[in-house]
Amino acid sequence: MKNLLKGAVIVMGLFAATSVANAQQKIGHINADEIFQQTAEFKTATATLKTLGETKQKEIEGMVSELQKKEKEANDLMLNQSEANKAETQTKLQTIGQEYQQMQARVQEVQKVAQEEVAKKQQELMAPIQTKVMNAINVVAKEKGYAYIFDTGSGAAVYYGGGDDVSADVKTKLGIK
């Protein structure tokens, strides 16, 4: 009986010690996307991507303009078609139709390639910024003794009942005012 009582006291002591240790873990939260978007590098990358997108869009618009000219040319031929030039007009319309289809396929290909280029450039520019922000979060967590930091912006934290918002510390670490 004494051994049973001693065992129960030891188990309760260990449970109490574990509860105290767990209660002392610091938990914080942050909105990493918000901080990510406030970095100078993000603003520069966004401007670069916007310029690239506009350049690609102008290129595609030029090609669409050429398509519209072909379409107008075909419409004009059809309007000016007569019995005397019917055979010649039909031959020209077939040629224009083939050129139009080729141009249309080229426009679609250029659009696809442009989207891929912009996506690749976005990944190339944004990945280092994400790494930099994550490294800053890790450094702040270690410096401040946090056991967990939940990202409230990504939905990774289903619930957080307070905790410390370490956004200001991470912004300071990144040089964001």
Does 9 map to a domain? Answer: no
Residue 40 lies in a domain: yes
pLDDT in tens, 95-126: 989 999 999 999 999 999 999 999 999 999 99
Whole-model pTM? Answer: 0.69
By the 8 A CB rule, do 14 and 132 touch? no
Q: Which tens digits make up the pLDDT trace of 56-101?
A: 999 999 999 999 999 998 888 888 888 888 888 889 889 989 999 9
Residue 157 lies in a domain: yes
**Is residue 11 in a domain?**
no
- Domain membership flag for residue 140: yes
Number of domains into which the chain is organized: 1
Range of the domain at 151: 28-174
Domain annotation covers residue 127: yes
pLDDT, position 10: 57
Phi and psi of 27, rounded to 5°?
-125, 135
Judge whether 76 lies within some domain: yes
Distance from C-alpha of 40 to C-alpha of 51, rounded to nearest angstrom:
17
Is residue 75 situated within a structural domain? yes
Burial of 167 (0-12, 13-18, 19+ CB in 10 A): buried
CB count within 10 Å of CB 73 equals 15
